[in-house]
Chain A
């Protein structure tokens, strides 16, 4: 069939864009909190205040005149990431993994020079990558050395784990792996692979690319079914703490797993997308409905336990009984 049956989708609890905008974002996210999540610099500052682990900030460039000093800021740095504080969708992110003298290497092996970097920062400052062309700030961040467990599942990029929280309860999770097609970025609409994750165990459930189910990573050829994310419970806890920090009822938390530092919060998102449902083959509304009936004001630990207990795909029958 060409189109999905909307009634069946509704029965499966699939969340659509309109409902997300009107109901999830409109009703649960206070506009006042947006700047905190839309600006990665602010997120980082607030997160550090409450001891949430984030990649270390190495420096910022706020004015065009400071672009000249970039050589000083980058002195002695071999791996770093330059990104716009208010960017989104992977736009304007320059990842440098290695350096030889004045040559900086991207994950793909291409190299850039100081001149390119200055140009890139200048573009960021003039708002090329921010919404509506607002002037922006460039932040220089420590390079995350991703955990070797992901090596088989990612092509030239750091995979990140997206967890959606509803009223502070981790509701659904997905691992996003970059591919050759997505150019090392973990954005699904650019061709990255989304892998649905079991909430209880951190095990991979299904993988999709361009909304189509796949079994193996298209570039590395490894089967996703063997994948289990380490430190899973810690990640759930980390994400749940982000709710206490932002009080956004519908929140997307992006986590990366550093080889040495463990799970780090990469960014928060007040308008997380819907593709996560496809990667999990589950409508997220069924879980939201359950959370609506749960008691509120639970602690981080209680909420994480709740999610592990009820939202595990392996115990799907159990959840439907309860409902």
Chain B
């Protein structure tokens, strides 16, 4: 018995020391930082193209952004099931091209980017060099009848401004006024030129160097909106961007330029009702994940086997998987040292994984809701006298029904969080309900509360550990901590002292 104990301790020590050594090597010798350093926002931009096929060959061509300096695209992905996809360099810049022989019904295509931004100040300097002189143009593109109105307006604005900067701002403000002047009303109403084009032509007439930009503000997380038009004016060797609604200069807001100049963003042939909308979302990722790691990886043979050599999507899968051992550690700890009873040994980890997707509070509410509704329905099922397999299957179907019903209901009510309900593992939920209901019948409601509460408590603890960003960072960068964890779990498995709950249980020995 003694020898077995020491055997376990020895094994645990060896395993943990290997882990510690690898950790030391990576941190001290290879210089990988142990703590997560500053995070960088990663923006995910999604272009969503919808159209309706008319039983004809369809060709879709999307202008891809001509990437500015300072923008670094880390991944690009076209999702287009059933479509032939190519990226073509055309006279109008790079375009994504989809084609399909015969298309009917509503269709959706996606194009997504993930990008990071480098320091903006550097960007400006580079841009200054490539300024091209623009000749002032006549107002040829504006309908003849309106030209005089435009000229009058320009004259008027010229009086109220001092330099190209205030001129532009003033002109835009005139166009955006809630109660616009007569001239503006005529210009906007009678021509079928967009505001952006109108401003562009007028500023050009004024002799300014102007660019039309269309793009997205990266920092407002939005779904399904259209590209925002901007105007860019050169003044004193500096490009200045103007928002068309307010006439303000957009300095701090990060703007991603999708299109410069006048090419069409999207061309769809062979279909109707084509539409393109964009979504942006932002998340923070430690900057080392983004670029630096690739350099470190190249320098070391050990790291050739690291997770960074995997494709990004697989890396993400591992990010979750590597956290499971921490959940397991928590379960072992709470079982061996505290003595909390749970229903199903590792059910709490699965619940915790689901919580990570749903966020804690929503997850808890939904879990309790599903299980309680499930218990009510299960108690009815038990009066039908079904065989066990049939009953569990029935409970699975009930769980799925509850889940879909809750999703639909919450969607209608606009509670978007509840849509994440699908992350709960339904087979586990069904078994939980089955176990709880048997427990209820045999040991009473109290035991259900004890074990259900215990499971939830363990799940919440596991959730806190697993969702800790520091732990996430360390496991992903240093998977060898799993060896240390393994050592710890082996040691805990040999712990033969009292559990915390036993100190309560054996209280009567103190008298």
Contacts and interface: CB of A to CB of B under 8 A. Distances in A.
Interface of A: 1-6, 8-10, 12, 14, 16-19, 22-23, 27, 64, 91, 119, 122-123, 126-128, 133, 189-190, 208, 211-213, 277-278, 281, 283
Given A4-B504, A122-B385, A122-B387, A27 B4 contact: yes
B442 to A, nearest CB: 6
A126 B388 contact: yes
Interface string B183-221: 000000000000000000000000000000000000000
B496 A23 contact: yes
Contacts of B503: 3-6, 9
Interface residues of B, number: 28
A17 B508 contact: no
B388 A14 contact: no
Contact of B508 (A3, A133, A281): A281
5 contacts: A4-B510, A12-B509, A18-B498, A133-B388, A190-B443
Given A1-B510, A91-B442, A208-B508, A6 B498 contact: yes
**5 nearest A-B pairs in the assembled complex, by CB-CB distance:** A126-B388, A19-B496, A3-B503, A16-B498, A4-B503
B505 interface: yes
Contacts of B339: 17
Contacts of A19: 496-497
A10 B506 CA distance: 11
A209 to B, nearest CB: 12
Nearest to A115: B385
A127 B387 CA distance: 9
A18 B496 contact: yes
A4 B4 contact: no
B497 A8 contact: no
Nearest to B510: A4
A4 B506 contact: yes
B389 to A, nearest CB: 7
Contacts of B504: 2-4
Given A4-B506, A8-B509, A17-B499, 17 more contacts: A2-B504, A8-B510, A9-B503, A14-B509, A16-B496, A16-B497, A16-B499, A19-B496, A22-B495, A22-B496, A27-B4, A126-B388, A127-B388, A211-B508, A278-B505, A281-B508, A281-B509
Contacts of B499: 16-18
B140 interface: no
A2 B510 CA distance: 10
For chain B, what secondary structure do more than half of its interface residues adopt (helix, strand, loop), or is it mixed?
Answer: helix
A270 to B, nearest CB: 18
Contacts of B388: 123, 126-128, 133
B336 interface: yes
A271 to B, nearest CB: 15
Given A4-B503, A16-B496, A23 B1 contact: yes
B494 interface: yes
A14 B503 CA distance: 11
Nearest to B1: A27
A58 B510 CA distance: 48
A190 B498 CA distance: 23
Residue from the set B389, B497, B506 with the largest chain A CB neighbour count within 10 Å = B506
A278 B1 contact: no
B443 A9 contact: no
Contacts of A5: 503, 510
A212 to B, nearest CB: 7
Contacts of B438: 128
Nearest to A64: B387
A3 B385 contact: no
Given A3-B504, A27-B1, A119 B509 contact: no
A274 B385 CA distance: 36
B508 A212 contact: yes
A14 B499 CA distance: 12
A278 B508 contact: yes
Residue from the set B385, B500, B508 with the largest chain A CB neighbour count within 10 Å = B508
Nearest to A18: B496
B507 interface: yes
A17 B502 contact: yes
A211 B496 contact: no
Interface string B1-38: 10010000000000000000000000000000000000
B430 to A, nearest CB: 12
A126 B389 contact: yes
Given A126-B388, A190-B443, A3 B507 contact: yes
B376 to A, nearest CB: 19
Contacts of A212: 508
Nearest to B389: A126
Residue from the set B443, B504, B505 with the largest chain A CB neighbour count within 10 Å = B505
Nearest to A16: B498
Nearest to B494: A22
Contacts of A17: 339, 499, 502
A64 B387 CA distance: 10
A119 B391 CA distance: 14
A122 B389 CA distance: 12
Interface in B322-374: 336, 339
B507 A211 contact: yes
A133 B388 CA distance: 8
B346 to A, nearest CB: 14
A16 B506 CA distance: 9
A4 B504 CA distance: 6
Contacts of B506: 4, 9, 14, 277-278
A4 B507 contact: yes
A283 B498 contact: no
Contacts of B442: 91
A206 B493 CA distance: 34
A8 B498 CA distance: 11
B336 A18 contact: yes
Nearest to A282: B509
Residue from the set A18, A23, A123, A212 with the largest chain B CB neighbour count within 10 Å = A18
A260 B385 CA distance: 38
Contacts of A10: 498
Nearest to A1: B510
Nearest to A278: B508
A64 B493 CA distance: 41
Contacts of B495: 18, 22
Contacts of B385: 119, 122
A36 to B, nearest CB: 24
Nearest to B434: A133
Interface in B427-467: 438, 442-443
Contacts of A208: 508
Interface string B475-510: 000000000000000000111111110111111111
A4 B494 contact: no
Nearest to B499: A17
B385 to A, nearest CB: 5
Contacts of A22: 493-496
Nearest to B447: A189
B461 to A, nearest CB: 19
A211 B505 contact: yes
Nearest to A185: B442
A74 to B, nearest CB: 19
A143 B503 CA distance: 39
Residue from the set A1, A3, A277, A278 with the largest chain B CB neighbour count within 10 Å = A3
B225 to A, nearest CB: 52
Contacts of B4: 27
Nearest to A6: B498
Contacts of A190: 443
